[in-house]
């Protein structure tokens, strides 16, 4: 998906940047497959396999072991679904990057780019809503219980999918096959810059700010509760605080690392006329990073969530004597005012 820059011709090697379809192409005659091109093709394949496999595992775990019985796992299910579908378009992008041509037709070009955009925005929106959900679950689950039911989570998730259609509608109108490539119609410069600006705000700035605000408030509330002795015993409370802090840092840092370079390259390209091949390759790496974010989420689940860690072990290493998994369906979190010491899972 995504907004980007009008095609720019590189002065020395006749290379063309295509940011709108999230691609970087190099047109050289004759076409050569150097070490960088081969390495990027392998990395694209690896990201696609890990992304599809990891998110499929999350979806199966939720449907088979959790049954989407909590608000949190409803959001995680939709996040995994969007991330998995996001990977579907990657082989098309990789093929065009590697062969410098689009052979799938104009309809497929529009369809791949639109689906790419919808899944990207839905994934980002789901992760943003999850930051609010985690705040409500761990700070005051009783107070927010009525808003954290699976029913409400499904309604909100459906809205996120529908809302994701709005910012990508221009893609259906302005993306098509030009010069043998699936690219955006970048000749209307005013539209292109507007598209880039609002996708950056909706797809990165606002979600990033919401995550930082709610996760910071969550950590500060946990720390304040521990210091005032209003929650778990000191050692357990400190452990919870450290667990949540690790989750906050991991989610925010991974999101920033994977998406910020892509948008930085987009804006830089708008003000660059003669771009070196190094810039084109740097942009291709930034594009791959943005896709990598979708395969990073299942890894975060496995590392940060004890519940999903157990789910994955049950699916990958099934044993007849494996204990059944049950999470706290009423609150899926920890009430800071409760001193009974209930179990807490950061993500579920």
- Rounded to the nearest 5 degrees, what angle is found at the Cα of 81, between the Cα atoms of 309 and 211? 75
Helices 71-88 and 35-61, axial angle in degrees (round to 10): 150
Residue 77 covered by a domain? yes
CB 25 within 8 A of CB 4: no
16 sits in which H/E element: strand 15-18
Instruction: Give the helix ranges, DSSP H, for 140-164.
Output: 150-163
C-alpha torsion 87→88→90→93, nearest 10 = -160
- pLDDT of the residue at 56: 93
- pLDDT of the residue at 307: 76
Q: Which two tokens stand for residue 347?
A: 């993500």
Say whether pLDDT at 344 is over 60.
Answer: no
- pLDDT of the residue at 330: 38
Say whether pLDDT at 10 is over 60.
Answer: no
Find the CATH number of the domain harbouring 92: 1.20.1070.10
Q: How far apart are CA 65 and CA 86, in angstroms?
A: 24
Q: What is the pLDDT of residues 125-179, one digit of tens each?
A: 999 999 999 888 888 888 888 888 999 999 999 999 999 998 888 887 778 887 7
Of 104-108, 292-296, 307-311, the least confident: 307-311
CB 345 within 8 A of CB 305: yes
- pLDDT of the residue at 272: 66
Residue 341 covered by a domain? no
Residue 236 domain boundaries? 15-316
In terms of average pLDDT, the best of 42-56, 100-114, 288-302 is 42-56
CA 196 to chain CA centroid, nearest Å:
18
CB 20 within 8 A of CB 4: yes
Helices 106-139 and 71-88, axial angle in degrees (round to 10): 160
CB 109 within 8 A of CB 175: yes
Q: How far apart are CA 300 and CA 31, in angstroms?
A: 39
The number of domains in the chain is 1
Q: Which two tokens stand for residue 66?
A: 């959790």
How many CA atoms does the CB half-sphere of 128 hold within 13 Å? Answer: 19
- pLDDT of the residue at 21: 39
C-alpha torsion 176→182→188→191, nearest 10 = 90
Say which residues have a Cβ less than 8 Å from residue 94's Cβ, sequence separation at least 6: 40, 41, 44, 45, 48
pTM of the predicted model, to two decimals? Answer: 0.80
Q: What is the pLDDT of residues 83-93, one digit of tens each?
A: 999 998 888 88
If pLDDT is split at 50, 70 and 90, which confidence band does 5 have? very low
Residue 337 covered by a domain? no
Residue 339 covered by a domain? no
Residue 345 covered by a domain? no
Residue 42 covered by a domain? yes
Q: Kindly report whether the peptide bond that precedes residue 30 is cis, defined as omega within 30 degrees of 0.
A: yes
Q: What's the sign of the alpha-carbon dihedral 294, 300, 306, 312?
A: positive
Summarize the confidence of residues 225-240 as an average pLDDT: 62
Residue 261 covered by a domain? yes
Strand partners, 16: 9, 25
SS3 144: coil
Residue 331 covered by a domain? no
């Amino acid at each position: 998906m995504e907004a980007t820059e009008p095609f720019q011709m590189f002065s020395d090697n006749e290379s063309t940047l295509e940011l709108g379809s999230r691609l970087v192409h190099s047109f050289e005659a004759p076409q050569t497959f150097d070490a960088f091109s081969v390495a990027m093709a392998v990395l694209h394949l690896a990201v696609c396999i890990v992304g599809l496999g990891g998110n499929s595992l999350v979806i199966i775990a939720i449907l088979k072991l959790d049954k989407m019985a909590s608000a949190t796992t409803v959001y995680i299910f939709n996040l995994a679904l969007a991330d998995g579908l996001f990977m579907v378009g990657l082989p098309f992008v990789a093929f065009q990057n590697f062969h410098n041509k689009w052979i799938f037709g104009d309809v497929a070009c529009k369809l791949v780019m639109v689906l790419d955009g919808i899944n990207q925005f839905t994934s980002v929106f789901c992760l943003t809503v999850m930051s609010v959900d985690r705040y409500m679950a761990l700070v005051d689950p009783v107070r927010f219980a009525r808003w954290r039911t699976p029913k409400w989570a499904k309604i909100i998730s459906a809205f996120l999918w529908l809302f994701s259609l709005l910012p990508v509608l221009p893609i259906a109108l302005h993306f098509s096959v030009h010069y043998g490539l699936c690219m955006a119609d970048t000749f209307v410069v005013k539209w292109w810059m507007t598209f880039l600006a609002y996708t950056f705000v909706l797809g990165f700035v606002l979600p990033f700010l919401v995550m930082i605000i709610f996760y910071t408030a969550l950590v500060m509330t946990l720390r304040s509760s521990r210091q005032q002795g209003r929650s778990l015993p000191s050692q357990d409370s400190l452990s919870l605080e450290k667990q949540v802090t690790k989750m906050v840092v991991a989610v925010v840092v991974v999101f920033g690392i994977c998406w910020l370079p892509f948008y930085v390259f987009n804006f830089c390209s708008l003000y660059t006329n003669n771009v070196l091949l190094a810039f084109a390759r740097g942009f291709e790496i930034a594009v791959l990073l943005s896709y990598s974010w979708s395969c990073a989420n299942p890894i975060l689940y496995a590392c940060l969530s004890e519940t999903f860690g157990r789910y994955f072990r049950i699916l990958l290493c099934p044993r007849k004597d494996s204990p059944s998994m049950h999470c706290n369906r009423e609150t899926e979190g920890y009430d800071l005012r409760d001193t009974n010491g209930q179990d807490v899972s950061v993500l579920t």
